Structure 1
Amino acid sequence: MPTASRYLQVIAHYHVKPGLGDRVSELLGELTAATRQEPKNLGYDFYRSPQDPDRFVILERYTDASGLDDHRAAPHFQRLGFGTIIPMLVSRQVQSFEVSVNGDGVATAVQR
């Protein structure tokens, strides 16, 4: 759980073109390492489906919406994300949520 009382949670679902899952996994590893260095990034992890190696879920957390904007504008995302990974996808679904955590640790989320 991030230390901030408010943050932006992004959940992305990637369906990769058949047979490209291994390559996308490698590229996501590179993207993960670079994204975790961004000043407004609180967390970035990706998971590959054990049932379908061409499906991934990416969980991203940023201090606020401007952190996601900065991420999308970053050279590593332009090169790896937009330039390489996204053209290898059959489909992609991205949702973002403004999350607030109260003093008792209870979180509420509002889709953005």
Structure 2
Amino acid sequence: MLVQMVHIDVKEGHIDEFVEAFRINYDGTRSEEGNLRFDVLRNPEDPHKFTIYEVFRDNAALDVHRETPHYKECVRRIDPIINGPRTKTFYEAVMAEYM
């Protein structure tokens, strides 16, 4: 099981555009066989900061995800409207509902 937290800082004035673009990835990813959970979270103290909580069956499922049209389209659309690169932190699930 692979847990990934992706941190994204959206440029001022682009929140709605980001959410619209990310919906493509959200909807597509949740239908992937190797995806177990996919949540889009926003920081209530700074609405420009998002965290994506992703759980995949394994590294191979994440690799498949990164090659999907919905992932590539989302990245194409959000890259120009985010501050800096997306940062990623990986975790191992110890106790989780989806296990």
Does 2:16 align with 1:22? Answer: yes
In structure 1, C-alpha distance between the alignment counterparts of 2:53 and 2:61, rounded to whole Å: 14
* Structure 2 gap segments, 5+ residues each: none
Aligned amino acid, residue 77 of structure 2: T
Map of 1:12 onto structure 2: 6
C-alpha deviation, 1:30, in angstroms: 2.4
C-alpha deviation, 1:88, in angstroms: 1.5
Identity %: 35
Report the TM-score, using the length of structure 1 for normalisation. 0.77
1:21-78 CA distance string (max 9 Å, x none): 1211122222111100111000101011222221101000000011111111111111
Map of 1:35 onto structure 2: 29
* Structure 1 gap segments, 5+ residues each: 1-6, 108-112
- Computed over aligned residues only, the root mean square deviation of the Cα atoms, in angstroms, reads 1.5
More strand by share: 1
How many residues are treated as equivalent by the alignment?
Answer: 95
The structure whose Rg is larger is 1
Higher relative CO (Cα under 8 Å, sequence separation at least 6) belongs to: 2
